Structure 1
Amino acid sequence: MQTHISTTPFGRRTMTLGQIANQARARAMPKEAVANKWHVFQHIREARELLGATDRSLAILNALLSFHRETELSAEGELIVWPSNEQLIARANGISPATLRRHLAVLVECGLIIRRDSPNGKRFARRSRAGEIEQAYGFDLSPIVARAAEFRDLAEAAQAEKRAFRVARERLTLLRRDIVKMIDAGIEEGVPGNWGRVLQTYQAVISRLPRTASRQFIEDICAELHELHAEIRDALESFTKTQNLNANESHFERHIQNSKPDSISESENGFRKKKEASGSVAETDNVRSLPKRDLPLSIVLDACPDMREAAQAREIRQWRDFLAAAELVRTMLGVSPSAWQEAREAMGEVQAAIALAAIYQRAEQINSAGGYLRSLTDKAREGKFSTWPMVMALLRARLDEGKHRQTPENVISEPGPLLEVSDSLLNSLRKRKL
């Protein structure tokens, strides 16, 4: 017969009110309470985040449960196990003694076990002459029985939270995919609207999404994206209602609005056969005489300063930043995704981005940016195109604008940052007619 069950832990370990509450809950459980220890352990494992338990602590709890011979734990039975540290370490996959002590403390703090320490801190059981246990010192598994229903409810709540989180992530993925493809469809089909602003709004929302986000934060982002999704969808649906759609998609004729009678649409096949307007960025007849080295990023930015403004707060320090700005400029110019893809395939990503930057710099002089890019793409396929003439023409134009000022021979002064040009490049600009 047990004389006294210890309440406080042995040694320097402190006592907390939470431990007192867990002990009181264990004493108050009904005498007929019974629980399958492995079923309860499964519930604890599923609800470990809500309980504050760790993977290592659960491994130790699993080892402690294995020291109890019965699968069904009863309130009327003996619920104290007294394995040594060596035995626990062996059954917990060989963890270190320090790790064992630390995670045993976690199990106590979470209310999953109760310490029943002996006067000297040893774990053992005293038996009667008949072999029955009179007094045991070790770890009390009473919370496994007393809180079995609570653990089951927590496991169900954890599963519901996981499902809600998975649904929120799926919704976010679908909204992002729909918005991006609808924006591309709006540009491709010539739907009137400020698609550059729409894309900027979308990127502003997505940029606030961290690498790891809570379910509530993801749902808040989804709510904002849903409003943007509805706005884009309504614009596309309103546009389709105004068109005379053919039931056969293969005979669908795309409507392209153009306020300039003389402008050239990128969908017109005749564009590639027509002569470029006088406001074109550059001629490409002297491709073979151009240098065989790549254009430095600094020269491209000096020739196309509007790219810095298009990048907004982001600085363009390397080609990766330049390519990201080109994607934004594409939507501002209304260049379709198909035209942009063909240009990148024919020229390469960097050269296509430079060509697009030059078009953006002279956007006011070009009627159809998409059509002009397609024309340059055709020339690139034939090996008759290089971005050197375009960039050099823009630099030469800036040089001509600065001639009326009194500046050093190798400096072009304009509002904003100074454009420094080397002597060799300056002579090349003056001699070469691009």
Structure 2
Amino acid sequence: MAFTQVSTSTAGARQRDRHENCTPPDIWAVFRALRDARCVFGLKPGHIQTLQALISFLRPGQGDTVFASNFEICRRVGGIDERTLRRHIDRFIDLGMIERHDSPNRKRYRVSSRDGRVVSFGLSLSPLLKRAGDFLDAAAELEETRRDQVFLRKQILVGLAHIDTIEPGSAVSENARRMMRRKLAVDEYRCLLDQVTNHLGQMSTVVDVKITTKLPANDGQTVRHLSKSEKEKKESERVESDLLPSVPTLTAICREATAFAPAGLRTWDDIERHAQNLAPMMGIQPGTFNEASKRVGSRRTATAIFILLQLGTRVRNYAAYFHSITLGKRADSFRPSAILATLSVSTSVPV
């Protein structure tokens, strides 16, 4: 039977050890990279388990050749049959990750002479180590792709939550959620995000059309209408002011929102501008923010943004909760002062 023999010659035993001990300390990092990127190289979980067992037989100072018998390897893998082991090893050999150096009797061992020459027969993992860069690059690329998928998926879910609060049972929402039951590619997620974003834009246009008021028939009605509207606006602002905290109290309690401010927040105009900048970062569409400002007042809307950000992870969906307390069923029962009083306990700020 034909066999391949690998020999290594050095000037002495110490030089032999330095040459033979070529197993790098990060061989397990190489293994983990290949494990994570196994689909790129056409490997299955069983192949990875076999490779893990092979690496576990390597010992410091003994090089990168595995001398264990098939029986011992099968035991360490978990009791697989020898036929499966041979199939796995052949797969690694075909991929250029392992080299088989057979002895005449198919035994695996290493012999050395007193002048430092070494002959090794076994399963060499040297090709695996030489291709470490390929595995590490593939694993890094897969991780970047995974992060992009997670980011796009979160953006889509935020948009869908906004659609569901305004248009329950939307066909766009149902179709998108049906598609996301399976794992999508990055391009598929981007296409789906475009669909959701476009639908949100159309919904904002519809809302703007609905709030357009009809002009009265004559100038007299116009004057009376404007006078009445001005009185209602002043009354609304007075009531709103009674229910809201002072600017110093709001900024002292809602430290999360204050931390993002590029400059000091001293007036309600500062608060409102900062809240308008924070809203998109929280997944709240500009159209929804503007509609809320018209419905419940700009100060109350800004206060809601500050409170939501301070609540943090206690709110699962910022966009849905914001819509609920400003435009939805909970708008009338939303009391900023009560929530701020509760938050002030954890922040040790008197209201």
TM-score by length of 2: 0.50
Q: From the two aligned structures, give the one with the greater helix fraction.
A: 2
